[in-house]
Amino acid sequence: MAMVQAKSIIYRKLAAHAFLWAWLALIIFPLLMVIAISFRTGNFAVGDIIPSHPTLDHWRLALGMSIVDESGRTIPPPFPVLLWLWNSIKVASVSAVLIVALSTTCAYAFARLRFGGRSLLLKAMLVFQMFPAVLALVAYYALFSRISDYFPPLGLNTHPGLIFAYLGGIALHVWTIKGYFETIDKSLEESATLDGASPWQAFRLILLPLSVPILAVVFILAFITAITEYPVASILLQDESKLTLAVGSQYYLNPQEYKWGDFAAAAVLSGFPITLVFLLAQRWLVGGLTAGGVKG
């Protein structure tokens, strides 16, 4: 039942709503601009929010179709945007799955097992994560070029190499999952142990099913990070056919000509997989999984 409220609270609520709408508009505006640019004739950054001469040319190019310009010339799509998108999805999905697997097992160790240097390691991981990856670009290049000498499939200019590089960034995820594991009563696993479960069985059959929401969160975060990542991918990948969309779409913006329209279409395109993953993962983002297990 609704609580009886004073008049002043109702006004304050209205004010809060107005503020939230304004804030929302401020956030959505850039996205609307990008969408507008992708449908606007010509390659300009400024113009109307609702295009006066809408065109699908930028989208045709992005989707790999040729267009005919005003002088009657056929212009083939300059870059394999769909291939880049596929590369991005591939790299992001595989690295997100591996990151979830790695950080979950890692977090389990930190949350439940006792070993020397445990807290030191935990803190060190966090501290190292604070240095931006950009600082290590040169090191990344040197490392992977050396790996190329010995094991090319994991070296420079390969997707496995890039995924391998992304797997380094799990410290925050380990902390997140560890925090969640610690909220789950230890007696559940102890009970499983008494029931005859091995530590691995207790982890897989008891702890993991209860941790699905946090795993979904980590998967989404890892996926978004990988799909939007630019610096490392731009260093490690060289062939045009190997690029991810985040790196490749920059090709539209060369110093001679900023093709804002084409760039905008590619940018909007890169938002689709993220949206899709989020919608799919949402059904796992449920609370109350551990309800009823412990206490009365």
Partner 1 sequence: MADVKIEHLVKNYQPGVARDVLRDINLDIKEGDFVVFVGPSGCGKSTLLRAIAGLDDITSGDLFIGGRRMNEVPPVERGVGMVFQSYALYPHMTVRENLAFGLKIKKVDKQTARERVAQASAMLGLDPFLERKPKDLSGGQRQRVAIGRALVQHPAVFLLDEPLSNLDAALRVKTRIELARMHEERGSTTIYVTHDQVEAMTLATRIAVLSPLAEGAATNLEQFGPPLDLYHEPANRFVAGFIGSPKMNFLGGMIEAPDARRTRIKLDTGVSITAGVDTSRAHPGDQVEVGVRPEHTVLLDDPRADNRITGTVLVAEHLGAETFIYLDVGGKDFTVKVRPETPGTARSQFDIGVPTDACYLFDAQGQAFPRTERFTRT
Binding region for partner 1 (CB under 8 A): 185, 187-188, 190-197, 201, 205-206, 209-210, 288-296
32 and 264 in contact (C-beta within 8 Å)? no
Measure CA of the first residue to CA of the last residue in the chain; give whole Å. 27
Q: Which is nearer to partner 1, 78 or 199 (CB)?
A: 199
Q: How far is the CB of 74 from partner 1 (least distance, A)?
A: 59
3-class SS of residue 63: coil
What is the chain's length?
296
Q: How far is the CB of 179 from partner 1 (least distance, A)?
A: 19
Q: Which is nearer to partner 1, 157 or 201 (CB)?
A: 201
Q: Which is nearer to partner 1, 184 or 245 (CB)?
A: 184
Which two three-digit tokens encode residue 223?
A: 């996926």
Q: Which is nearer to partner 1, 193 or 225 (CB)?
A: 193
Q: Which is nearer to partner 1, 14 or 294 (CB)?
A: 294
Query: Under the phi-then-psi rule, with left for phi > 0, alpha for psi from -120 to 50, and beta for the rest, what region is 292?
Result: left
Q: How far is the CB of 199 from partner 1 (least distance, A)?
A: 11
136 and 128 in contact (C-beta within 8 Å)? no
Q: How far is the CB of 208 from partner 1 (least distance, A)?
A: 10
Q: How far is the CB of 192 from partner 1 (least distance, A)?
A: 7
Pairwise CA distance, residues 142 & 197, whole Å = 45
Adjacent-strand bridge partners of 6: none
Pairwise CA distance, residues 213 & 146, whole Å = 39
Pairwise CA distance, residues 266 & 237, whole Å = 19
Which two three-digit tokens encode residue 271?
A: 């938002």
Q: Which is nearer to partner 1, 170 or 206 (CB)?
A: 206
Q: How far is the CB of 269 from partner 1 (least distance, A)?
A: 38
Q: Which is nearer to partner 1, 7 or 295 (CB)?
A: 295
3-class SS of residue 257: strand
Q: How far is the CB of 115 from partner 1 (least distance, A)?
A: 15
Pairwise CA distance, residues 34 & 46, whole Å = 10
